[in-house]
Structure 1
Amino acid sequence: MELSKIISSSLKYPFRNIAKLPIIFILFLLIAVIPIGRLLDNNYIVLVGVIAFFIFLLIVPGYFLGVVRKGSIESSLFPSLSLVDSIYDSIRVLVLRMVYMIVPTIVFFIAFSTLGASAADMLYGWQISNFLATLGAMLLLILIVYLIFEFLLLFAKARLAYLNSLKEALKINKVMGDIKKIGIVNIIKWIILMIILLVAVSLISSLVMAIPYVGFLIYVAVVIPIAESIGNYSLGLLYSNIIDNDNDLDKLEQEIKQFKYHN
């Protein structure tokens, strides 16, 4: 699928499923309960908000994995909300994230333990410039490693959605193979377009947030879920290019076999 079609289809996706949008809106309202409770200075509402937040974490990540899955098979429908499936998928998404963040976490602790050993000496010796340079280099290293694994995680999530297998999603070499099939250039173009879309959403959000109280609720319950729907569906559509290419390759191999057989 062409990149332009991916973006246009993704933008239309939430609005083709108007009937199911309220379900997502309600789910995202769960994370607004805590701020409301703090605003009203009501500990009971805050407690309800904490519970609601955990419910949100158990349902929403898994539901949006279903959105990625719909995109990967180029379906224009929203996934049906199944609590069991959503919770199961949310747990798998959480496990996937935890595994992919192991290396960035290790790099983080190694970097700061190394810095901690020499920071005191540099500061004691008034080597401020050396300290700042070392700190900057380590922060840059941590950021680069984090972004690399966040990038891999993105397509591991797409692989999990399509193959419905956590084991397959944890195979980094396979994920890298998927990325290669899609094409780094195509992915960069897609990321740039999604960033532009995010900026546009942010501009709209700033206008919405200007509305006292209600603006925050609209932002949380409407703007964010629509943006998430677009982003996850777009990821699925991007991943569908791998499937299309593989199917084309299978057809070509079958045609070659048939040709050899008849000759």
Structure 2
Amino acid sequence: MDLSKLVMNSFKYPFRNIKKLPILCLLFVFIAIIPIGLIANNNYVTAIGVIAFFLFILTVPGYFLSMVKLGSNQSSMLPSFNLVNNIYDSIRVLFLRIVYMIVPTTLLLIALFVFGPATRNLINNLRIIEFLATVGFVFVLILIVYFIFEFLLFFAKARLAYFNSLSEALNIKKVIRDIKNIGIVNIIKWLIVMAILLNAITFISSFVMSIPYVGFLIYGCIVIPIIESIANYSLGLLYSNIAKNY
């Protein structure tokens, strides 16, 4: 599937299943309960919001994984909500993220341990330029490593969705092979186009936040779910270009 068709189908996706879209929007209502409780200064509502937030964490990542899977099979259906399957998939997605973030986190801890005392001495001795250079170098290094593994995680998630196998998603060699098969240039073009379009939608739709009382609710429960649906389905469609080879 070429880029233009991929992007077009991705943006049409949430609206092709308009009857099921409220289910997704309802899930995002969960995360709005806490701020509502805080604004209303109601401890009971806030407590319910905390429970709802954990329910959100346990269901929504898995639901979005289903969208990636449907995209990888080039299906235009919106997934049905299944509490057990969604929780199971959410746990796998969260575990996948934890595993892929081990290296960046470890690097951060090592950097703090190794460079922490040195940077403290530089500050104490007023060696500001050396301090900034050291901190800047460490920050850039950690940021690069983080983005590399975040990039790998993107396609590990696609493998998890398509193969329905955590071991397949944790196989970094196969993830890298998938990236090569899709093509770095194609991925970069896809990332740029999707980033521009999604950020444009985010910016334009953010004006609903100015609506008194309900603005943040509309944005959080309607706009964000639609944006996330587009992004996840788009990842699935991108992966579908090589999925047919398996």
Same fold (TM over 0.5): yes
Q: Would you say 1:90 and 2:90 are equivalent positions?
A: yes
The aligned runs of 1:68-217 (5 Å cut-off) are: 68-217=68-217
The Cα of 1:11 is off from its aligned counterpart by: 0.4
Q: Deviations along 1:89-139, whole A, 9 cap, x unmatched?
A: 000001100000000000111111122120221112110111111111111
- Local SS of the residue matching 2:41: coil
- Give the distance between the partners of 1:159 and 1:72, measured in 2 at CA: 9
Q: Structure 1: which amino acid aligns with 2:81?
A: L
Note if 1:50 corresponds to 2:43: no
Gaps of 5+ in 2: none
Q: 2:31 maps to which residue? A: 31
Deviations 1:221-246, CA, capped at 9 Å, x for gaps: 000000000000000000000123x2
**In structure 2, what is the Cα distance between the partners aligned to 1:129 and 1:65?**
46
Larger radius of gyration: 1
Shift of 1:198: 2.1
Deviations 1:24-48 (A, max 9, x none): 0100010001111111111211111
Q: Which moved more, 1:39-48 or 1:13-22?
A: 39-48
- State percent identity of aligned pairs: 63
| 1:221 alignment partner in structure 2 | 221
Q: Which moved more, 1:208-217 or 1:148-157?
A: 208-217
Cα RMSD after superposing both structures: 0.9
> How far does residue 205 in structure 1 lie from its aligned partner after superposition?
2.6
TM superposition shift of 1:206? 2.2
TM-score, length of structure 2 as denominator length: 0.98
* Secondary structure in structure 1 of the residue aligned to 2:46: helix
Q: Is the 8 A contact 2:70 2:77 kept in 1?
A: yes
How far 1:204 moved relative to its partner?
Answer: 2.0
Q: Work out the CA distance in 1 between the residues paired with 2:212 and 2:139.
A: 38
Distance 2:20 2:53 in 1: 21
Distance 2:44 2:129 in 1: 49
Aligned to 1:62: 62
Partner residue of 1:14?
A: 14
Aligned residues: 246
Which runs of 5 or more structure 1 residues have no equivalent in the other structure? 248-263
Opposite residue 58 of structure 2, the aligned amino acid is: L
Whole-angstrom CA distance in 2 between matches of 1:163 and 1:241: 15
Per-residue displacement from partner, 1:137-171 (whole Å, max 9, x unpaired)? Answer: 11111111110000000000000000000000000
Which one-letter code corresponds to 2:70 in the other structure?
Answer: K
- Alpha-carbon distance in structure 1 between the residues aligned to 2:137 and 2:94: 30
Q: How far apart in 2 are the matches of 1:63 and 1:93?
A: 10
Letter in 2 for 1:49: G
- Provide the secondary structure at the position in 1 that maps to 2:76: coil
Structure 2 counterpart of 1:117, one-letter code: P
Please list every run of at least 4 consecutive aligned residues from structure 1 whose deviation after the TM superposition is greater than 3 angstroms: none
Q: Distance in 1 between matches of 2:6 and 2:138?
A: 37
Q: Distance in 2 between matches of 1:224 and 1:177?
A: 32
Given that 2:206 and 2:219 are in contact with CA atoms closer than 8 Å, whether structure 1 keeps it comes out as no
Distance 2:241 2:47 in 1: 45
